[in-house]
Amino acid sequence: MKSGDSNTNFFHNFAKSRGWRNKVTGVHDLQGQWQEEIEGIQQAFVNIFEQLFTTEGSNNIDLVLEAVTPKITPLMNEKLLKPFTRPNIEETLKQMAPNKSPGHDDLSRTRPDIFPEVLAHSGR
């Protein structure tokens, strides 16, 4: 033996034959037609997955909403819909811990540093 194990050739041939057995030679599409061409096989798979992961929707949204238990009360919704004001922004910024990052775009800044910038953009 020059190099390698005598079993190397055996295992290589075994893997090649297994790959041949696992080869997809064709599929049935959604209409039941046998597809053997690569384009037909690809389109059959695309169509099957599109059908699996799409919805036809509902024409009766009220029926859908009846099944959903509301978590937001009308009072909570009213508060959430109110426009925020400069005092709201100041209060929120003061509640932030000094070392909390204001966002991904400026990681090094601390809370007091962002007061003027945020308040200037609030326009209120």
Residue that has been written with the tokens 């959604």 in this structure: 30
- Give pLDDT, residue 1: 45
In the chain, where are the structural domains located? 82-124
Return per-residue pLDDT of the chain as tens, 124 residues.
455 566 777 777 777 766 666 777 899 999 999 999 999 999 999 999 998 888 777 678 888 888 889 899 999 999 999 988 888 888 887 787 665 555 555 544 555 566 666 666 655 4
Q: Where are the alpha helices (DSSP H) in 22-85?
A: 38-52, 61-66, 74-81
Across 25-68, the runs of DSSP E, i.e. the strands, are: 27-28, 34-35
**For position 64, what pLDDT does the model report?**
81
SS3 27: strand
